Chains A and B, each alone.
Chain A
Amino acid sequence: MEAVNFTESQLTQKATQIRIDTIKSLVSAGSGHSAGSLGMIDVMTALYFGDVLTYDVSKPLWSERDRVVLSNGHICPGYYAVLAHAGYFSPTELGELRKLGSKLQGHPHRESLSGLETSSGPLGSGLSQSCGMAYTALLNKSSWNVFCLTSDGEHQEGNTWEAVLFAAKYQLGNLIQIVDRNNIQIDGFTEDVMPLDSLNEKYQSFGWHVQDIDGHNFEAIIDAVNEAKSNYQKPSIIIAHTIPGKGVEFMEELPEWHGKSPSLGETVEALYELRTLAGAIESDHD
């Protein structure tokens, strides 16, 4: 496979284009989850275009690929756009999101789309599945890693913590969890709904290797993944502090954008803002 190694500014451009395609896909669907999708696009872009993930789009079932498990399946509009840009399917198909017969199901369906390792949507079960995959790699003496993308909200599910114990017991050093620490869930801010802080201390005391990073800083994301990969003794978690709705100002930091798609008017506004960011439109502001 060709090495995909973008510069920082290329990553920024790529992420902006992916955000634009995500917004278009959401408006065409008429429903779906905007905030988490936009918030994790920088992390997912860094994974697929920052030369840290081993994958080959022409061989989605290649045995030596790194496994990416999207545990918080509701942010699939963002993930689908990343997979399309990575080459798993054409970005023109993103308009089929949530439509009858589409491979872009409202929540990911493993059998519908190549590039997906599992079906998800029901929260809290991705980390355990990732443990099963990581354990397999150790048994088989394979060198691939498992990247499990999770959300903060699903850390309220018992199943997540059952997996946290398991990964530490079996020293799954090939397991890298990246959690979207965006502080929101459906009913409001996580610390009001069911407090999670400090995730860092909790994971340390459970025997994991823990890093806190700015989830919108490409260098920080890539460095953290490389450090996690070089650690063989413990499972790793990267706590990515993100801004839900990142890139579209009227969505940022607001729990009400958790599960909503933009209206036509809001889409125009969002695309204007993102295109300005991409340099395609002169900014009004400065």
Chain B
Amino acid sequence: MIKDNITYPSEEKISTREGFGEGLVEAGKKNSNVVALCADVTESTRVHWFKEAFPDRFIEVGVSEQNLATVASGLAASGKIPFMSAYAVFSPGRNWEQIRTTICYNNVPVKIAGHHAGLLTGPDGATHQALEDIALMRVLPNMTVLIPADYCEAKQATIAAAMHPGPVYIRFQRTNTPVFTMPGLLFEIGKSHVVREGSDVTIVSCGPLVYSAIDAAEALAQQEISVEVINASSIKPFDVDTLITSVQKTGAVVTLEDHQIAGGLGSLVCETVSEHYPVPVKRIGVKDEFGQSGTPDQLYEKYGLSVDAIILAVQSIVR
């Protein structure tokens, strides 16, 4: 049963980066300490709206992601709330240790926007498809990790990040994806949402793939398989209660993410259920390989992240 906290079917597609760009302007209006930094990808990470609204609170560092992170750290140590924006493969990919020491160990409120995440990045190919960022960010003490499922959540997560006292990583995508969460709903850090109720199996997903999970669940309902879907947009802190309550009812979990199979949401769910309430788990993700050029749809087909692949995975775990 689709819950009333989402709109299904979705009526439009907008990218999560769009939500980030708008949320950043809102955050800037609410708090004059909010500043934005970018590393030569201002328009494609949608920071240009902030730049237009607050020109003297926008900082261009050029192509230098390590500098991006460390300048942001200095700003945060001096009372600013910096949002640093770049492609996720480079930030937090290239500047990971700078983030670890100067942002997390210092525990200063830098907000890291990682863009062009996942296979959804498409034709640019493997070098630009961030498939490891969730793992990289989850392991850092003091870091909060958020993965909005759509444009609305992306906007709200950005506003919530600005108000959160510590470091935050937020993951965004380039492609237009279904808008289905409620506009204006405040983003609660540490909370997952059941978006469809079911009793045979739980699918836990994050990012735009949550919508594919609902599509798969609707198709499976025709086969008398009742699927519960959880949108785990707060990866860290993680909402253990919502997951465990669900698996106590369903007894099986499928995880689904546009990320390497190791270290991301699938690992997080395995860690959580094995400690609290062990049940069979099936993980869907990129299976320890690099992506390649192609359209997002072709890549989801090829790497086993399509709705059909989700349906097969669910069938295999309930039978």
A interface residue numbers (CB < 8 A to B) = 29-32, 73, 98-102, 105-107, 109, 119-124, 153-154, 156-158, 185-187, 193-194
Contacts of A98 in B (CB 8 A): 123-125, 293
User: 8 closest pairs, A vs B, by CB?
Assistant: A194-B62, A100-B294, A121-B127, A106-B125, A156-B62, A98-B123, A156-B63, A106-B293
B42, A107: Cβ atoms closer than 8 Å: no
The answer to whether the Cβ of B235 comes within 8 Å of any Cβ in the partner chain is no
Interface window among B76-84, B162-170, B221-229, B295-303: B295-303
B63, A31: Cβ atoms closer than 8 Å: no
Greatest chain A CB density within 10 A among B62, B66, B127 is at: B62
Q: Looking across the interface, which residue of chain A has its beta carbon closest to that of B125?
A: A106
- How distant is B16 from chain A, measured CB to nearest CB, in Å? 20
A-B contact pairs, 21 of them (CB 8 A): A31-B123, A73-B127, A100-B302, A101-B294, A106-B127, A106-B128, A109-B126, A109-B127, A120-B127, A121-B124, A124-B63, A156-B61, A156-B62, A156-B63, A156-B64, A158-B66, A186-B43, A187-B38, A193-B40, A193-B62, A194-B62
Q: Looking across the interface, which residue of chain B has its beta carbon closest to that of A122?
A: B127
**Interchain Cβ contacts within 8 Å, total number:** 91
- The CA of A158 and the CA of B302, in the complex, are separated in Å by 36
Contacts of A185 in B (CB 8 A): 40, 62-63
- Checking A73, A107, A187 against B60 with a beta-carbon cut-off of 8 angstroms, the contacting residue is A187
B127, A156: Cβ atoms closer than 8 Å: no
Given contacts A106-B123, A154-B63, A186-B42, 13 further A-B contacts (CB under 8 A): A30-B123, A99-B293, A100-B295, A100-B302, A101-B292, A105-B292, A107-B128, A124-B63, A158-B67, A186-B44, A187-B40, A193-B40, A193-B62
- The CA of A102 and the CA of B123, in the complex, are separated in Å by 11
Contacts of A119 in B (CB 8 A): 127
Contacts of A123 in B (CB 8 A): 63
Which residues of chain B from 106 to 135 have a CB within 8 Å of any chain A CB?
123-128
Main secondary structure on A side of the interface with B: loop
Contacts of B41 in A (CB 8 A): 186-187
The answer to whether the Cβ of B94 comes within 8 Å of any Cβ in the partner chain is yes
- The CA of A161 and the CA of B286, in the complex, are separated in Å by 35
Given contacts A99-B294, A101-B292, contact A109 B125 (CB under 8 A): yes
The answer to whether the Cβ of B20 comes within 8 Å of any Cβ in the partner chain is no
A157, B64: Cβ atoms closer than 8 Å: yes
- Checking A30, A105, A154, A156 against B126 with a beta-carbon cut-off of 8 angstroms, the contacting residue is A105
Report the interface size for chain B: residues with CB under 8 A from the other chain: 30
Q: Per-position contact with A for B49-82: 1 when CB-CB < 8 Å, else 0?
A: 0000000000011111111000000000000000
- The CA of A58 and the CA of B64, in the complex, are separated in Å by 39
A121, B63: Cβ atoms closer than 8 Å: no
Contacts of B302 in A (CB 8 A): 100
Given contacts A156-B40, A187-B42, contact A100 B127 (CB under 8 A): no
The answer to whether the Cβ of B90 comes within 8 Å of any Cβ in the partner chain is yes
- The CA of A79 and the CA of B43, in the complex, are separated in Å by 27
The answer to whether the Cβ of B89 comes within 8 Å of any Cβ in the partner chain is yes
Contacts of B40 in A (CB 8 A): 153, 156, 185-187, 193-194
- How distant is A106 from chain B, measured CB to nearest CB, in Å? 4
Q: Looking across the interface, which residue of chain A has its beta carbon closest to that of B290?
A: A109
- The CA of A100 and the CA of B119, in the complex, are separated in Å by 12
B63, A153: Cβ atoms closer than 8 Å: yes
- How distant is A98 from chain B, measured CB to nearest CB, in Å? 4
- How distant is B94 from chain A, measured CB to nearest CB, in Å? 7
Q: Looking across the interface, which residue of chain A has its beta carbon closest to that of B51?
A: A187
- How distant is A88 from chain B, measured CB to nearest CB, in Å? 19
- The CA of A156 and the CA of B68, in the complex, are separated in Å by 11
Greatest chain B CB density within 10 A among A29, A123, A186 is at: A186
- The CA of A185 and the CA of B302, in the complex, are separated in Å by 33
B61, A194: Cβ atoms closer than 8 Å: yes
B63, A157: Cβ atoms closer than 8 Å: yes
Given contacts A31-B123, A153-B63, contact A121 B128 (CB under 8 A): yes
A107, B124: Cβ atoms closer than 8 Å: yes
- The CA of A157 and the CA of B89, in the complex, are separated in Å by 15
